[in-house]
Structure 1
Amino acid sequence: MRNFTLFVLCIIFATSCKIKLEKNNRNKAFLVDNVNPFIGTGGHGHTYPGATVPFGMLQISPDNGVSNWDWCSGYHYSDSIISGFSHLHLSGTGIGDLADILIMPINKKVDLTTKGTTRDLLPYKSVYSHLNEKSKPGYYQVYLKDPKINVELTASQRTAFHKYTYAESDRQSVVIDLGFAINWDKALKTAITIEDKYTISGYRYSTGWAKNQKVFFVAKFSKAISESTVTADKKIVSGNKAEGENTAVQLFFDTEKSDELYVKVALSSVSTENAKDNLDPESSDFETAKSKSAAVWNDALSKITVETPVDSLKTIFYTALYHAQLAPVTYNDKNGQFRKENDEISTAKNYTAYSTLSLWDTFRAENPLLTLLAPGKTSDMVNSMLAYYDTKKILPVWTLYANETNTMTGYHSIPVIADAYLKGIKGFDAEKAFQAMKTTMMQDERGLNLYKQFGYIPYNLLDESVTITLEYAYDDWCVAQMAKALGKNEDYQFFIKRSKAYQYLFDPATGFMRGKSEDGKSWNEPFDPKHSNHREHTDYTEGNAWQHSWFVPQNVEDFISLHGSNEIFTKRLEQLFTESSEITGSNVSADISGLIGQYAHGNEPSHHIAYMFNKAHEPWRTQYWVHHILDTQYNTTPNGLSGNEDCGQMSAWYVFSSLGFYPMNPASGEYEIGSPIFEKAALHLQGGKSFIIEAENVSNKNFYIQSATLNGIPFNKTFITHQQILQGGILHFVMGAAPNKNWGSKGKK
């Protein structure tokens, strides 16, 4: 009887283990199932739906072939034509580039010598329907109606995998067009070589947003090439090689064995030999790569788990978490080598080199999110910036394929480095990093000469003077914090003093930051706080005075005192959200989107503003407006982002804010409390610890914090520190439908 009982208990135990294992597997799969990569592919989101892995080197995705602002990623949901599938894409930027190494499967011989400047003249384009299109993390599928070919794409860290299924007995062919270009991009010099029956290689040099972009590639096919037509500059050439500004090739394959054709593609910024080295081994196949890609994404998404009965919230959240891990992208080859803008070949030793650093956007929330989720990658990104500094003797602004685009204002590699160091992230040379920060802010480029001379940038000497001054002041504050941490008191005193440059531009009569003349007295007149003039003859970058007058995250208390009192400050801040949404001017910036009053959630300068009520001791206003933004500016449709995704920033705002806290001052090591929307959320941190946020009674109506405890102890602060989160524990909120004006109202202690 005893043995029988033991036998039964063993069965029960084994069964329970199996159930638990299956449940865990289902949970992981469920996270991937919640992601909808089509969110942001409509409207002004500028995201792509194709296949990649977290921070992957390649982004294999469809290109519609249209050169227009809303096609910056190569794809827009409103379209119905595909021109091909290229291997490099930008996620949610406002400038279009890349779309390198285009491949398109077809079923007939086409004339590649046709000259044309629009996609209408492309002989290999095809109609498609969203009804026969699917996208999941690491996988994309579409049916091309014209050639009747089903296309499936997946990717690993450095290899793209294509699977083409042709109609039975159809001719199996592929076009590779290295002259294909959209938006800012233009091919300068390209080359194709048919190396053997299964392999082609080549390169594509181009200019655009990245002025010196060199991409080398290799493509291996599962079937032997039976016939080929090679062209150079729209002329057929003999032999297996072609070189010119525009080269292309059409390849034909044997159709007897199967209707499927597989292609593997790898790239390199250095050489075709490195591209071959980057190519996954012969043993790797499409289905294996697809499964591995899904598993990698499962792991990446499982760093945060949320519980809510509202499925749409899960979809928005996990899609945001997905988008927040697309960029920056791996840039160095498997052997560590990568090309710099000056054509120097460098080697990343003991770190991964990253490119696509959209720092004006991502320093606000995307990079702080990565300090929680991927601190190792954060140190790699800092090392990537320092490698750039080694060459330029200045830190990067916005790098694409190792090229400095100098796009946007400020030097926001500085807060990213300061944030990493102050949060205890290791793996980079702190002294070198500080010298890079200091040297950058003491040089004379991009208006810093004026900033040093006047203490601010006069509007009559440089456009966008207000935005640039405010952002340099913040960068100075970050340098000061780094100096203080390293015991450099003289540097600390210098930069902390200069970080108050915002005081020069505040107009107490209007409550706005305004352009000031070099005489130190005269304001830029006439003044209309709603006026926008996109990137020229303006005091504000991609916005107006309403949106840009609040960027003093480093010293909100002093900023409030400039207004005169908490009451005046909160009245003006509340008016930002309730003012009419009229934007005046004949050249209004398209980036001003997602308007709530004059608050523009579709562009980054607004992202911290709703959290500033906390510093004025009225946190219930932060809770109201954060909830309102979460509720109105994100949804599950292709138009689900209210502005450019900008390499993860728009999504990182959602990830943080939906959890209930946000890095209002990104390099402070503190997060302002907002309004959590999930019943329970858990951050699974390195070292095995978890930080759990519970929101008792939370609902779409119950978004006000009534009370809170941290690890069982009453918690009445409107902020929580990075170190408190890293220690793990439980932050428990009780939520209600009416504001509790006593909770957190006494401000920071």
Structure 2
Amino acid sequence: MQHDPLYLVFPQAMRKTMAWVLLSLWTFVQPAFAQQNQKENSAYIDPQIGNVAPFLVPTFPTMHLPNQMVRMFPIRQDYLSDEIEAFPLLVYAHRRPGMMRLKVGTTDFSELKTSKMIVDHDLETYQPWFYEGYLIEEDIKLSFTPGKKCGFYQIDFQKNQNKHLILQGKQPLSFQRLSTHRYLLTETIMNKDRGLNPRTLKLKVYAYVEFVDKLNQPISDLKVDEHDGWLAISTQNHAQVFIKYGLSYISPAQAQKNFTEIAYDNFTTVMVRAKQAWDEKMNLIQVKGGTEAQKRTFFTSLYRTYERMVDITEDGQYFDVYQQKVQKTTQPMYADDWIWDSYRSHHPLRTILHPKQEGDMVNSFVRMYHSSGWMPTFMQAFGNTMCMNSYHTAAIFLDAYSKGITNFNAEAAYNGMEHTLTTRTFIPWRQGNPRETIDDFFHEKGYFPSLAIGEKESLPDQVVDSFEKRQPVPVTLGVCYDFWALGKLGERLEKKGYQQYLDFSKNYQQLWHPEHRLFMPKDSKGKWVEIDPKLDGGLGYRDYYDENNGWTYAWDVQHDIEGLTKLLGGTNAAADRLDQLFRESLGKRKSQFYVDGSNSTGMIGQFSMGNEPSFHIPYLYNRFGEPWKTQQKTRFVLDTWFKDNIFGIPGDEDGGAMTAFVVFTSLGIYPVTPGVPVYDITSPIFKEASIQLENGKTFTIQAALASKKNKYIQSAKINGKVLNQPYISHEQIMEGGTLTIELGPLPNRAWGNTPL
């Protein structure tokens, strides 16, 4: 018979005592041990989710700190390619190829300059705070970690090989040698406006760069050969080369000053600090339940909402590209936003998680208005890029102000929007240009006129883009939303004349075709242009719509859902029509449909999950008295189109817009009408989600029975009080508390069936 050591050494009484002590210790230690082994939220982030797009632009695996200037992803044709063209010091705007490009290798410089680096996908590591890749043909490991306005590369060569590096620009680099291992680099971003009198804006990017060893000392045998627009760098004796740099839009001196952020730190220190920054953001939302795949999708989506806007403030100042001078500021200045996309979900998410930062970002729009003369639409550090249609900055201003965010100049925002909407053109991809005669027609008649079928455009390409066309239906609908937002903001600010803008916002009804029960184009004579709203309009349906067809734009009246419901014949008829949207056939074979409809992706019937105008559509069942269908549809689109793999985004992610939809919908709430401080409720995917608010309070959404099967809301309570409507106010969220939702496998058609 064998005995354990306790039996041999200690008498029976002492053995019982020690067993009790050990059991007590285990009871105490076990929860801490389990917590220690619990996966961190940041560990669920996978920047490669969505990196392959069937039709459109994929996501990019971007390394950066939350909302900070320095961003990096390897420049390659696409995820499927094993060839990397370069590693940039800076990705200066969402999806843009980087600048100040690094290449490493062992071949002669002439060959290295034009060749590409070969990687093995399985040997690449992507995390928001760290990248590592192995150049498989040359046995070189390259790593990167970001700072706020700095970056840090580590290159590990084999000892007995050439150690060559090249720095070159997207545009030719200019440079200045400060010492054997320190350089100042300059590269220029060019941004040319569109229109009859286009301006070309220039923004210079300055970099202070050091080449050091693992002890942060100058590389003793560093050799740098200066060529026309590029640098050839080599060392013989140092297998490890570290490239540390600081960036600035202001000056070389400011770049060197910004470098102090990482000047005395090693690679690991910077990486750990970067991870801590991401942990801080990811830990704002704690979830329980859900699958591992759902958590990967959720936290990766949350990560993507922090890619932009980015803080371009440098020591209380920023470079004003329109005035071509440095401006002082007591408030952070942000840039890089695509407002046509981001107003829908991205900005509203920030009003919950970071209301102060949202106010700073909103005020950045006002600052650019003062500099440029019109409200931005696709705001960048290098100026506004004229993309898409409408001026939805108005909705962002109203949304922030209606939610109590006041750290922006609301008076200036109103005045700027009024000036923009009354003096600037509504022509797509020409925003900011002066008002044209076609805009006069819109102001007078209340709709944007379409060309007749087969009619050639009479306005020159500088006025109406020959590719983007007039897009008369979405322009009419979108601008009506803008005037509504302007009027509502004016009402809150007690401005005279706000009612005229609210009245104008009803003009969307002029394009309602009662027989088609869709919004259809009219020509300048007021006659219907009798098209097939499902298939006609050319590439992206742009002759009449924009990227989506008439079935999507039938629901693009976020500011007046009550009015839309009346046009549809009441709530029952509206719900039936919405059912039809999700069931209606493509009308062609897929191969034919996607010739013109390549922007309409993530299709369920005629519903396009892959494009922004559809985001709010599944939630409209709440407004039509059938919220159980909202619960059904939102679960279905998440399960179907948002997977935790390289195909996990159904369309253009657009730098935070689509992934903010995922964050909201996973939590079980969504802002159907930005500008109205109310969120529609749907079925959460997590058993519990707690949001740590900026004011120190916590808002928790509990759905203890949540599962794939249990998706229908049976009942709900807010802070213990019965909630029988599928809405919750922004104020209720920000006050903290608990939204408790009971879920079941079958619909409770009686819950929440009273329209808002």
TM-score, length of structure 2 as denominator length: 0.87
Secondary structure in structure 2 of the residue aligned to 1:681? strand
- C-alpha deviation, 1:339, in angstroms: 3.5
Secondary structure in structure 1 of the residue aligned to 2:287? strand
- C-alpha deviation, 1:535, in angstroms: 5.8
Amino acid at match of 1:221: F
User: Given the alignment of the two structures, is residue 136 of structure 1 paired with residue 127 of structure 2, yes or no?
Assistant: yes
The CA RMSD measured in Å over matched residues stands at 2.5
Secondary structure in structure 2 of the residue aligned to 1:500? helix
Q: Which residue of 1 aligns with 2:465?
A: none
User: Given the alignment of the two structures, is residue 692 of structure 1 paired with residue 700 of structure 2, yes or no?
Assistant: yes
Q: Which residue of 2 aligns with 1:303?
A: 284
CA distance in structure 1 between the aligned counterparts of 2:185 and 2:729, rounded to whole angstroms? 51
Work out whether residues 104 and 124 of structure 1, in 8 Å CA contact, stay in contact via their aligned partners in 2.
no
Q: Which residue of 1 aligns with 2:242?
A: 262
Work out whether residues 682 and 691 of structure 1, in 8 Å CA contact, stay in contact via their aligned partners in 2.
yes
Q: Which residue of 1 aligns with 2:80?
A: 78
For the structure 1 residues 18 and 255, does the alpha-carbon distance in structure 2 shift closer, same or farther, using more than 3 Å as the test?
farther
For the structure 1 residues 566 and 281, does the alpha-carbon distance in structure 2 shift closer, same or farther, using more than 3 Å as the test?
closer
- C-alpha deviation, 1:217, in angstroms: 1.4
Amino acid at match of 1:473: C
Q: Which shows bigger deviation, 578-587 or 615-624?
A: 578-587
User: Given the alignment of the two structures, is residue 528 of structure 1 paired with residue 533 of structure 2, yes or no?
Assistant: yes
- C-alpha deviation, 1:292, in angstroms: 0.5
Gaps of 5+ in 2: 1-20, 194-199, 213-218, 428-438, 452-456, 458-468
- C-alpha deviation, 1:18, in angstroms: 8.7
Secondary structure in structure 1 of the residue aligned to 2:638? helix
Q: Which residue of 1 aligns with 2:513?
A: 507
CA distance in structure 2 between the aligned counterparts of 1:111 and 1:605, rounded to whole angstroms? 49
Secondary structure in structure 2 of the residue aligned to 1:217? strand
For the structure 1 residues 325 and 574, does the alpha-carbon distance in structure 2 shift closer, same or farther, using more than 3 Å as the test?
same
User: Given the alignment of the two structures, is residue 250 of structure 1 paired with residue 232 of structure 2, yes or no?
Assistant: yes
Q: Which residue of 2 aligns with 1:116?
A: none
Q: Which shows bigger deviation, 103-112 or 318-327?
A: 103-112
- C-alpha deviation, 1:224, in angstroms: 4.2
Secondary structure in structure 1 of the residue aligned to 2:173? strand
Work out whether residues 186 and 205 of structure 2, in 8 Å CA contact, stay in contact via their aligned partners in 1.
yes
User: Given the alignment of the two structures, is residue 216 of structure 1 paired with residue 223 of structure 2, yes or no?
Assistant: no
Q: Which residue of 2 aligns with 1:594?
A: 602
User: Given the alignment of the two structures, is residue 612 of structure 1 paired with residue 620 of structure 2, yes or no?
Assistant: yes
Deviations 1:668-721 (A, max 9, x none): 111111221111111110122111111132111211111111111111111111
User: Given the alignment of the two structures, is residue 483 of structure 1 paired with residue 464 of structure 2, yes or no?
Assistant: no
- C-alpha deviation, 1:567, in angstroms: 2.2
Q: Which residue of 2 aligns with 1:331?
A: 312
CA distance in structure 2 between the aligned counterparts of 1:587 and 1:436, rounded to whole angstroms? 40
Work out whether residues 47 and 60 of structure 2, in 8 Å CA contact, stay in contact via their aligned partners in 1.
yes
CA distance in structure 1 between the aligned counterparts of 2:167 and 2:670, rounded to whole angstroms? 45
Q: Which residue of 1 aligns with 2:138?
A: 147
- C-alpha deviation, 1:17, in angstroms: 9.7
2:470 to 463, 470, 494: 463
- C-alpha deviation, 1:402, in angstroms: 3.4
Work out whether residues 367 and 416 of structure 1, in 8 Å CA contact, stay in contact via their aligned partners in 2.
yes
Work out whether residues 197 and 225 of structure 1, in 8 Å CA contact, stay in contact via their aligned partners in 2.
no
- C-alpha deviation, 1:477, in angstroms: 1.2
- C-alpha deviation, 1:14, in angstroms: 12
Which entry has the higher C-alpha Rg, 1 or 2?
A: 2
- C-alpha deviation, 1:281, in angstroms: 4.3
Q: Which residue of 2 aligns with 1:166?
A: 157
Work out whether residues 473 and 520 of structure 2, in 8 Å CA contact, stay in contact via their aligned partners in 1.
yes
User: Given the alignment of the two structures, is residue 493 of structure 1 paired with residue 499 of structure 2, yes or no?
Assistant: yes
Amino acid at match of 2:724: N
Gaps of 5+ in 1: 1-9, 67-75, 113-120, 181-186, 233-246
CA distance in structure 2 between the aligned counterparts of 1:319 and 1:566, rounded to whole angstroms? 37
CA distance in structure 2 between the aligned counterparts of 1:597 and 1:586, rounded to whole angstroms? 14
For the structure 1 residues 594 and 536, does the alpha-carbon distance in structure 2 shift closer, same or farther, using more than 3 Å as the test?
closer
CA distance in structure 2 between the aligned counterparts of 1:528 and 1:250, rounded to whole angstroms? 57
Instruction: Describe how 1:549-588 pairs up with structure 2 within 5 A.
Output: 549-582=554-587, 588=596
CA distance in structure 1 between the aligned counterparts of 2:245 and 2:477, rounded to whole angstroms? 45
For the structure 1 residues 11 and 294, does the alpha-carbon distance in structure 2 shift closer, same or farther, using more than 3 Å as the test?
farther
For the structure 1 residues 592 and 225, does the alpha-carbon distance in structure 2 shift closer, same or farther, using more than 3 Å as the test?
farther
User: Given the alignment of the two structures, is residue 737 of structure 1 paired with residue 745 of structure 2, yes or no?
Assistant: yes
Amino acid at match of 2:481: Y
Amino acid at match of 1:109: D
Secondary structure in structure 1 of the residue aligned to 2:375? coil
Work out whether residues 304 and 681 of structure 1, in 8 Å CA contact, stay in contact via their aligned partners in 2.
yes
Secondary structure in structure 2 of the residue aligned to 1:87? strand
Q: Which residue of 2 aligns with 1:235?
A: none
- C-alpha deviation, 1:621, in angstroms: 1.3
CA distance in structure 2 between the aligned counterparts of 1:320 and 1:334, rounded to whole angstroms? 31
CA distance in structure 2 between the aligned counterparts of 1:589 and 1:191, rounded to whole angstroms? 44
- C-alpha deviation, 1:425, in angstroms: 1.1
CA distance in structure 2 between the aligned counterparts of 1:569 and 1:226, rounded to whole angstroms? 71
For the structure 1 residues 510 and 252, does the alpha-carbon distance in structure 2 shift closer, same or farther, using more than 3 Å as the test?
same
Q: Which residue of 2 aligns with 1:516?
A: 522
CA distance in structure 2 between the aligned counterparts of 1:332 and 1:687, rounded to whole angstroms? 25
Amino acid at match of 1:553: Q
CA distance in structure 1 between the aligned counterparts of 2:178 and 2:552, rounded to whole angstroms? 56
CA distance in structure 1 between the aligned counterparts of 2:479 and 2:317, rounded to whole angstroms? 34
Deviations 1:35-75 (A, max 9, x none): 101012111453222320001101122111x3xxxxxxxxx
Q: Which residue of 2 aligns with 1:242?
A: none
Secondary structure in structure 1 of the residue aligned to 2:299? helix
For the structure 1 residues 110 and 729, does the alpha-carbon distance in structure 2 shift closer, same or farther, using more than 3 Å as the test?
same
CA distance in structure 2 between the aligned counterparts of 1:343 and 1:669, rounded to whole angstroms? 38
Deviations 1:258-278 (A, max 9, x none): x21111122222222221111
Work out whether residues 50 and 138 of structure 1, in 8 Å CA contact, stay in contact via their aligned partners in 2.
no
CA distance in structure 1 between the aligned counterparts of 2:371 and 2:442, rounded to whole angstroms? 25
Deviations 1:435-491 (A, max 9, x none): 112212111323443321211111138710110111111111111121111122x33
Q: Which shows bigger deviation, 554-563 or 102-111?
A: 102-111
Q: Which residue of 2 aligns with 1:292?
A: 273
Work out whether residues 107 and 147 of structure 1, in 8 Å CA contact, stay in contact via their aligned partners in 2.
yes
Amino acid at match of 1:293: A
CA distance in structure 1 between the aligned counterparts of 2:190 and 2:26, rounded to whole angstroms? 61
Q: Which residue of 1 aligns with 2:176?
A: 193
TM-score, length of structure 1 as denominator length: 0.88
Amino acid at match of 2:548: G
CA distance in structure 1 between the aligned counterparts of 2:65 and 2:24, rounded to whole angstroms? 37
- C-alpha deviation, 1:390, in angstroms: 0.7
2:294 to 310, 313, 317: 313
Instruction: Describe how 1:668-747 pairs up with structure 2 within 5 A.
Output: 668-747=676-755
Work out whether residues 368 and 666 of structure 1, in 8 Å CA contact, stay in contact via their aligned partners in 2.
yes
For the structure 1 residues 607 and 131, does the alpha-carbon distance in structure 2 shift closer, same or farther, using more than 3 Å as the test?
same
1:34 to 44, 58, 61: 44
Work out whether residues 609 and 615 of structure 2, in 8 Å CA contact, stay in contact via their aligned partners in 1.
yes
Amino acid at match of 1:355: A
CA distance in structure 1 between the aligned counterparts of 2:418 and 2:22, rounded to whole angstroms? 66
- C-alpha deviation, 1:492, in angstroms: 2.4
Instruction: Describe how 1:86-101 pairs up with structure 2 within 5 A.
Output: 86-89=88-91, 97-101=96-100
| Aligned residue-pair number | 691
CA distance in structure 1 between the aligned counterparts of 2:161 and 2:23, rounded to whole angstroms? 55
